[in-house]
Amino acid sequence: MPEDKITKMVVISDTELPSDMAINAYKVSSDVTIKETCYGLMVTGTRGEVDKVVNEVRKLNPTKIFVKERGFPPGDERRCRANRGGGPRPGFHQLKNEIDMLPDIGKGLILVDRGSKPLDLPEAKNIPVDKFKQIIAEEAEKLGGKSQS
Amino acid sequence: MKIFIYPANSLILSDLVERFGHEPLALMKEIRKKVTDPGLDSPPMNMTPDDAKKGLKYAAIEIPSGVRGRMSLMDPLIEEAQAAIIVEDADYMFGCMGCARTNELIKYTIRSKGVPVLELKYPKNENEAKNFVLLVKEFLDKLVIKVEAPQ
């Protein structure tokens, strides 16, 4: 039985360019299909070859290159925007949300390399009611109205 | 070790688990099996009425078939899980009642399975994101030590 084909997404955060990633990915193996996208690359092929390519690409800048597997193959009509009359593809909002956070996650990875330990961060507390009422009164006064307190 | 992640399609969790030397049990793996099978029973996603029956393992017959269908998709991941990372309060984790109830059921099932579970909140700023990575790393490192320790 032939080995299953998988697709992995290589997602880059801030300064890297998808075209640089693609050039480096092509150097590693010719047995995979590489698609350049706005967020990075999609690499399709057998699991062994895809893992080899993404591991090599990740080595270029480990704190700014992130990888996850993708269910649908690239260009699949059920996901491709070309056949949907525009709009974001399903999964875009989740990806966008996480891409915004990747620079901070990258900084966390640098701390891991330095051997840092996690801290107990203080939890954000709600503002006291009296303080909140005071702010409302001050703002109301600025606008020339009267607060009801 | 095989680590179940929640949200099951998270890029960050999937990457961190793989990067720190474990295997992420992500939803994409199961989706791929469904959408690349040449089945003609129920195109385009190949979710069949049998999937809703498989979901009876987790939820009674009067529970909507959508919940049971979703649970049948998650079943192999839950079964294989040797540990889990659950992250609450993700901005994008909203949806219909079927999604919401399935998510509750998934979290309950994983917690009651008896495997080590790390529960975190989705990071909202830089410091929380840094701490998030460190906590995930610490958890995954402890798992390895536990497995390698003599009985």
Question: Does A29 map to a domain?
Answer: yes
Task: Say if residues A120 and B128 touch (Cβ distance below 8 Å).
Answer: no
Give residues with Cβ within 8 angstroms of B78, minimum separation 6: B4, B106, B109, B110, B113
Name the pTM for this structure: 0.87
Contact B32 A121 (CB under 8 A): no
Which residues span the domain enclosing A30? 5-113
Query: What confidence category does residue B25 fall into, taking pLDDT thresholds of 50, 70 and 90?
Result: very high
Question: Does A33 map to a domain?
Answer: yes
Contact B35 A117 (CB under 8 A): no
Instruction: Please count the structural domains in chain A.
Output: 1
Question: Does A142 map to a domain?
Answer: no
The CATH number for A46's domain is 3.30.70
Is cis: bond before B150, omega within 30 of 0? no
Contact B134 A104 (CB under 8 A): no
Question: Does A133 map to a domain?
Answer: no
Question: Does A137 map to a domain?
Answer: no
Return the number of CB contacts < 8 Å for A and B: 102
Average per-residue pLDDT in chain A? 89
Interface of A with B in 23-62 (CB under 8 A): 62
The complex's ipTM works out to 0.88
Question: Does A67 map to a domain?
Answer: yes
Task: Just give the CATH number of B2-148.
Answer: 3.40.50
pLDDT > 70? residue B151: no
Contact B14 A109 (CB under 8 A): no
Strand partners, B87: B120
